[in-house]
Structure 1
Amino acid sequence: MKNLNLAYWIPTALFALGLTLSGFGALTHQAPMVAAYSHLGYPLYFMTLLGAAKLLGVATLLAPGLPRLKEWAYAGFAINMVSAVFSHLASHDPVGHAVAPVVLIGLLFASWRFRPAGRTLAIPAVATA
């Protein structure tokens, strides 16, 4: 049981750290984030929105309970990370620029896969006649 708990908390903590730093940088319009979003062709107001969404999503993943909201946070983060990979590749960035979001996708999947029962949606039993 303890190994399963570590298998959840290690990737979750690493993912949360990465997205907290990214979300804070976006929300406060840090120079490297402004340069990155501008290079990718995104307007700066999108950076503010995405930064706030990342911070709210991290808070949701780390908070106890809220299983349905956690599922939405996992889905939103997956869409965000896949979009980041696509954006870097579509902008003809070196493939290395897509590595960080790919690593984050791996951490996100591990977090989702090994989440404890209290952090998952219960699957309703199917009635048989």
Structure 2
Amino acid sequence: MNWKKLGYWASTGLLAFFLLANAAMKLSGAEPLVESMKALGYPTYLLTILGSWYLAGAIALLAPGFAKVKEWAYAGITFAFTGAFASHVLAGEPIGTAVPAVAALGLAAASYLLLPARTEASEASTSATQPVSAAA
């Protein structure tokens, strides 16, 4: 296994674990999350929606194949966690409350950039555009 595949699976595994843990907490209606949603001014039913999306995103990332579904999952993760970051910061909360969102964005970026289908396509297009040297 090369370092790109190792990096992909490490970042994707951590991201999926983070999404699954958050989905479980959101879907269970954990009291700290309910209080946080109220403090941010969001309705608490949003926890059920977000929890469902996080669960679906984790499944999409771990399922083999489904390249388009994975692309949508990465987009959704980006929207969700940039929104979480902005919500905490714009609500005037300490920057530390936004750290998990930034960490998740970092994992998502690493996972996406190391996605085997992307890196293989990128390497193939790079080698296809390399000039062919004349054989003497």
Structure 2 counterpart of 1:61: 61
Equivalent residues in 2 for 1:1-129 (5 A)?
1-117=1-117
TM-score normalised by L of structure 2: 0.84
Please tell me the residue identity of whatever aligns with 2:5.
N
Secondary structure in 2 matching 1:93 = coil
Structure 1 residue ranges without an equivalent (≥5): none
119 and 71 in structure 1: CA distance in 2 versus 1, 3 angstrom threshold? farther
Deviations 1:37-60 (A, max 9, x none): 111111111110110010011000
- Distance, in Å, in 1 between the alignment partners of 2:113 and 2:119 is 11
Structure 1 counterpart of 2:130: none
Q: Percent identity?
A: 39
Q: CA RMSD in A?
A: 2.1
Deviations 1:90-113 (A, max 9, x none): 110001111111111011000000
Structure 1 counterpart of 2:131: none
Secondary structure in 2 matching 1:22 = helix
66 and 118 in structure 1: CA distance in 2 versus 1, 3 angstrom threshold? farther
- Distance, in Å, in 1 between the alignment partners of 2:30 and 2:120 is 35
User: Are 1:67 and 1:119, in contact at CA under 8 Å, matched by a contact in 2?
Assistant: no
Secondary structure in 2 matching 1:44 = coil
Please tell me the residue identity of whatever aligns with 2:80.
N
Please tell me the residue identity of whatever aligns with 1:79.
F
User: Are 1:37 and 1:43, in contact at CA under 8 Å, matched by a contact in 2?
Assistant: yes
Q: Could you say which structure has the larger radius of gyration?
A: 2
Structure 2 residue ranges without an equivalent (≥5): 126-136
